[in-house]
Homo-oligomer: A and B are copies of this chain.
Amino acid sequence: MTQLTDHPKLGRKRDPSRDGDILDAALDVLAEVGYEGMTIDMVAARAKAGKATLYRRWASKELLVIDAVACMKQLDVDPAALPDTGTLRGDLVAMIKPKAMEDGGKKLRIMAGLMSMLSRDPSLAETAHSTIMEPRAAVNRMFLQRAIDRGEIAADTDVDMIAQVGQSMAAYRTIMLRKPITPEFLLSIIDNVILPAVGLGPQK
């Protein structure tokens, strides 16, 4: 019979840097095999951590994933680095960069991996949307608003709806069709859908 003690000042300190490593590993595995395919052993192995370390920090697989999604700000675009070319098309085309496409692709694969959890946990659906999908739509809204402000497009443009078009079609292609997002595909959305929809066709 041993004495149960509780001396919070004593003993080795929990290493805070392990949290980020584990959450990153969880997102990697999530993007690769999805929530159901992911096992705690996979995440632990990827993070070179013991399973006990994971359960010391998160009570369950579900809570680990929820936390990982909530903390994935690092993939967000740097607002200061956003293009401002003077034309809507210039701004949209300037977003077609390898880095941004890679990050966007990973976000969409994470979203695909979360799919099966969304119906069980509506608050996760909300978190996932605002963390994964919303930031890029917000960028599009800004581009559209600037275009309105400079008189490039009509003031009654449905900014919210148009800003979702690219996101929706990219998500559809990645998640449903399982096809890669290419620069050609993104250019085609811009030139054949978005710009015509805001009245900026090829001036025919």
Indicate whether A34 sits within 8 Å of B178 (C-beta atoms), given known contacts A171-B172, A172-B164.
no
Residues of B within 8 A of A133 (CB): 176
Asked if A62 is at the interface of the complex by the 8 Å CB criterion, the answer is: no
List residues of A (99-128) whose CB comes within 8 Å of B's CBs: 111-113, 115-116, 118-120, 122, 125, 128
- Copy number of this protein in the oligomer? 2
Q: Is the interface of A mostly helix, strand, loop or mixed?
A: helix
Residues of B within 8 A of A111 (CB): 176
CB distance from A125 to the nearest CB of B (A): 5
Chain A residues packing against B (C-beta within 8 Å)? 33-37, 111-113, 115-116, 118-120, 122, 125, 128-129, 133, 154, 158, 161-162, 164-165, 167-169, 171-172, 175-178, 188-189, 192-194, 196-199, 201, 204
